[in-house]
């Protein structure tokens, strides 16, 4: 992904002619600015939340990745849920990439409407007639887009903006952007809950006061307030295929990474970060609570309207995928599932779940 909004420790190096490239997998984010002295790295740590490092961009006998706490000046604030974490924003910029802080949104995630996203970012790929703020540089471009909503949308070639040959990839894939936005907030949420549960456990010896927070987390985990798509989304780099291939798959070949990209991001909307270390290493009691609530929602025992959008078929599919692919489910997950199971999945042939 490519962002040209001037921010970070090396903001003077970033511009629409020299954007910052961001790469990520499920636990690590890397920022690369051609010509800048430092490579920027953020890692999701199950105890601490985001941990930040830099790597000097000059030839050395022993390259060193150094912990850098200066990054927390921005990466630990109300915008990251008050814990060390990830930032994703969308603001208008001028021709040089300087942000107009009065113009946008400082916490973008999967709930943010597409019309509000990607100010300060390049965006490549197809999205039909859904407007967004990507690829717009300077006041005139933003004004033009108000009259012509598809202005600079649905493009795959960024060479009109800058010299793409200096980057490992010449795209800023719309699918990668959308998954990044889901994931960054998810990481912050996991870190926030970890801190709160640790404190509550020490102070009160129980997590009863966290019920509302756990419910909000569940809604995010299950995409219940996801911004709707009203035209198909198509990436521009093969990212979607690589992402999906990573699985894990259940015995019917289904995976939480299967993308829909027509009316919503995922076919089975439950975050793939349930497989991440940050989730798996949540404080035990907290994780148990989350699984309990998750099971109530997916099994239909909790029929609250906020989860209605998921639909019965998706709930059942997610329940089954998790049963097949997660090793750390509590015992109650098994038994209560058997009655509605499709015949293809025989409980007797299930892998043993500790």
5 counts as binding ligand HEC under rule CB under 6 A: yes
Lay out the site mask for ligand HEC across 92-131 (x = CB under 6 A, - = otherwise).
Answer: ----------------------------x-----------
Cβ burial, residue 75 (10 Å; 0-12/13-18/19+): buried
Q: Tokens 């756990």, residue?
A: 214
When the beta carbons of 86 and 196 are compared against ligand HEC, the nearer one is 86
Locate tokens 């078929």: which residue?
Answer: 313
- Sequence-distant (6+) residues with CB within 8 A of 297 are 218, 222, 304, 307, 310, 315
Both tokens of 260, joined, read 């829909």
Residue 31 within binding range of ligand HEC, rule CB under 6 A: yes
| Cβ proximity to ligand HEC, 50 vs 283, nearer residue | 50
Q: Which tokens go with 339?
A: 């009655």
Confirm if 245 and 272 have CB atoms less than 8 A apart.
Answer: no
Nearer to ligand HEC, 41 or 218 (CB): 41
The answer to whether 189 and 141 have CB atoms below 8 angstroms apart is no
Q: Is 273 in the site for ligand HEC (CB under 6 A)?
A: no
Contact 24, 183 (CB under 8 A): yes
Determine the size of the site formed for ligand HEC (CB under 6 A): 26
CA 323 to chain centroid, in Å, comes to 23
Q: Is 117 exposed, middle or buried (0-12, 13-18, 19+ CB in 10 A)?
A: buried
Radius of gyration of the chain (CA): 21
CB-nearer residue toward ligand HEC: 7 or 215 = 7
Asked if 54 interacts with ligand HEC (CB under 6 A), we say yes
Q: Which of 71, 191, 197, 270 binds ligand HEC (CB under 6 A)?
A: 71
Token digits of residue 187: 């990481």
Distance between CA atoms of residues 257 and 155, nearest Å: 25
Comparison of 175 and 317: residue with beta carbon closer to ligand HEC = 175
Q: Which of 2, 3, 152, 174 binds ligand HEC (CB under 6 A)?
A: 3
Binding-residue pattern over the window 212 to 231 for ligand HEC, x denoting contact by CB under 6 A: --------------------
Q: Which of 16, 40, 200, 235 binds ligand HEC (CB under 6 A)?
A: 40
Q: Which of 15, 16, 19, 22 binds ligand HEC (CB under 6 A)?
A: 22
d(CA 179, CA 253): 21
- Report, in Å, the least distance between residue 44 CB and ligand HEC: 9
- Interactions with ligand HEC, residue window 174-213 (CB under 6 A): 184
Q: Whose Cβ is closer to ligand HEC: residue 135's or residue 325's?
A: 135
Q: Which is nearer to ligand HEC, 66 or 230 (CB)?
A: 66
Q: Which stretch binds ligand HEC (CB under 6 A): 37-45, 55-63, 133-141, 189-197?
A: 37-45
| Residues 186/220, Cβ–Cβ less than 8 Å | yes
Q: Does 135 bind ligand HEC (CB under 6 A)?
A: no
One residue of 32, 52, 189, 239 binding ligand HEC per CB under 6 A: 52
State how far the alpha carbon of 206 is from the alpha carbons of 211, 286, 299, in Å: 11, 10, 26
Question: Which stretches of the chain bind ligand HEC, using CB under 6 A?
Answer: 3, 5, 7-9, 22, 29, 31, 40-42, 50, 52, 54, 68, 70-71, 73-75, 86-89, 120, 184
């Amino acid at each position: 992904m490519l962002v040209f909004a001037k921010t970070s420790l090396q903001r003077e190096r970033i511009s629409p002619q020299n954007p910052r490239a961001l790469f990520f997998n499920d636990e690590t984010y890397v920022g690369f600015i051609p010509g800048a002295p430092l490579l920027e790295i953020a890692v999701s740590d199950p105890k601490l939340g985001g941990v930040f490092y830099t790597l000097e961009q000059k030839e050395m006998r022993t390259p060193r990745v150094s912990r850098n706490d200066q990054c927390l000046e921005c990466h630990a604030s109300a915008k990251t849920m008050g814990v060390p974490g990830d930032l994703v924003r969308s603001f208008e910029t001028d021709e040089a990439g300087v942000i107009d802080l009065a113009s946008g949104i400082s916490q973008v995630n999967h709930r943010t409407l597409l019309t509000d996203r990607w100010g300060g970012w390049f965006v490549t790929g197809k999205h039909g007639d859904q407007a967004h703020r990507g690829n717009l540089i300077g006041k005139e471009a933003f004004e033009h887009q108000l009259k012509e909503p598809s202005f600079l949308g649905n493009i795959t070639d960024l060479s009109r903006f800058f010299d793409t040959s200096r980057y490992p990839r010449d795209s800023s894939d719309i699918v990668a952007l959308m998954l990044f936005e889901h994931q960054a907030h998810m990481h912050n949420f996991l870190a926030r809950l970890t801190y709160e549960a640790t404190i509550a456990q020490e102070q009160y010896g129980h997590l009863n006061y966290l019920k509302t927070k756990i419910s909000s987390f569940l809604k995010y985990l299950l995409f219940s307030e996801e911004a709707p798509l009203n035209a198909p989304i198509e990436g521009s780099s093969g990212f979607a295929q690589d992402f999906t291939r990573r699985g894990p798959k259940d015995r019917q070949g289904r995976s939480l990474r299967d993308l829909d990209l027509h009316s919503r991001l995922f076919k089975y909307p439950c975050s793939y970060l349930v497989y991440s270390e940050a989730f798996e290493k949540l404080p035990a009691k907290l994780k148990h609570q989350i699984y309990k609530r998750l099971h109530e929602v997916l099994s239909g025992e909790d029929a609250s309207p906020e989860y209605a959008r998921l639909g019965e078929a998706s709930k059942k599919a997610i329940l089954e995928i998790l049963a097949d692919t997660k090793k750390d489910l509590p015992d109650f997950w098994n038994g209560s599932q058997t009655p509605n199971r499709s015949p293809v999945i025989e409980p007797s042939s299930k892998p043993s779940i500790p």
